[in-house]
Structures are given as C-alpha cells and as structure tokens.
Amino acid sequence: MFALVIALLRGLPGPVFFPLRALATIYSDFFRGLPTILLVYILGFGVTALQLPGVPVSPLFWGTTALILVYSAYVSEVYRAGIDSVHPSQEAAARSLGLGRFASLRYVVLPQAFRRVIPPLLNDFIGLQKDTALVSVIGVIEILRQAQIDSSRDFNFTAYTVAALFFIALTIPLARLGDWLALRQVRREQGAAA
C-alpha cells in the first residue's frame, strides 16, 4: 500500500504538488540506489547502537524495516509503470462521464494498471522472499542463519542445501504463477482486440 501511495504521489499533476512529487522521487531513487545489505547493516547495527529511548532494538524489527523501505521503492516503480501504461484516453473518457480526477483514477485507471502489474509484482515478491536471508547478518535467525548454525555445529553443509531447496520450493511455484498470469493477460488483450 505504501508503494502505491508513493507511485500516486509521483503522478500528481500541477506545480502545487511539486514538493510531494519531489519527495516521492527522492525516496524512490534513494532506496533503489542503496544496497539492501547496507541498509540492513545501518538500521540493524547503527540505530540500535544509538540506544535511543522508545526506539526498538530488535534486529528482526530493523531487518524488516530495511526490506520494507527498499522494496516499497521498487514496487512503487512497478505501480507507476502500470499506471503510466493505461492510455490517457481512459481517464479522459472517465472524466467526460463526470468522474473527478481521483474517482477516475480509482475506478478506471488503477483497476487496469493492477491487472498489468501482477506478474512484475510477483517477481518483486520472489526477490523479497530471497532477500529475507540478508537479515541474518544482523543476528536474526531465519533459514539461512539456521543452516549456518547447524553446519557450524556438526561441520556438515547439508543444511545449506536444504535451505537452498526451501527457497527454490517457494520461488518456482511463484514464478510459474507469474508466467501464467502474464499469459492470461496477453490472451485477454488479444481477445479484446479481436
């Protein structure tokens, strides 16, 4: 949802919305340009080292926050591309029927954009799923960290193989779902054009 808000802010027309557009652009560019593992380190070690009162110290919290910040920037670009892919005549037709800017966006543009961005969103979700392993560097025990603990205990690297198979078992069905959704979208568009 946060990514959609960023995408919508970047598309606001007129000079009055320039500050919001600029903030959304800066956010998107900054967090897409920053390596995810670096942000995990900065938040996971840096913020907790400050020991500010009322600020969480949980590595899981800061690892999750880092992933949310980075992936919301990437997903906002996917949403923005989907919104931009809807022909302007669609909004113009909605406006001619009496819908306002936000109503035409809500009822006409966004439903079409969402259908177009489902496969790329699944791709980002797969990337996010794999990047959860990055939070292990700040001490969060997830599958990669657990494999590291197990292999250190008995000097057997089978745990890494099991972790790899687990990631593959999760990502391949999602990749096939993305392919199926993309093919379904192509068939719908070809059926509508015929």
Return the pLDDT at 21.
Answer: 95
Instruction: Fill in the DSSP letter of residue 189.
Output: H
What's the average pLDDT block by block, 10 residues per block, for the chain (194 residues)? 93 92 96 94 90 90 95 96 92 90 91 88 89 87 85 87 90 88 81 66
The pLDDT value recorded for residue 194 is 57
**How many angstroms separate the Cα of 126 from the Cα of each of 20, 121, 171?**
30, 9, 6
- For 50-62, b/e burial (b = at least 16 CB within 10 A) is eeeeeeeeebebb
Q: Say what the pLDDT of residue 174 is.
A: 87
DSSP letter at 106 equals I
* Whole-number pLDDT of residue 193: 62
Whether the CB-CB separation of 72 and 39 falls below 8 Å is answered with: no
Contacts of 104 by beta carbon, 8 Å cutoff, 6+ apart: 91, 94, 95
- pLDDT reported for residue 156: 84
The pLDDT score that the predictor gives to residue 192 is 67
- Half-sphere exposure of 61 toward its Cβ, with a 13 Å CA cutoff? 7
Domain spanning 2-193: which CATH class is it, in words?
Answer: mainly alpha
Domain ranges of the chain: 2-193
Spatial separation of the C-alpha atoms in residues 88 and 11, rounded to whole Å: 13
Q: Which residues contact 116 (CB under 8 A, 6 or more apart)?
A: 82, 85, 86, 185
Q: Let me know: does 59 contact 44? Beta carbons within 8 Å.
A: yes
Separation between Cα atoms, residue 162 and residue 156, nearest integer Å: 11
According to DSSP, residue 56 is labeled -
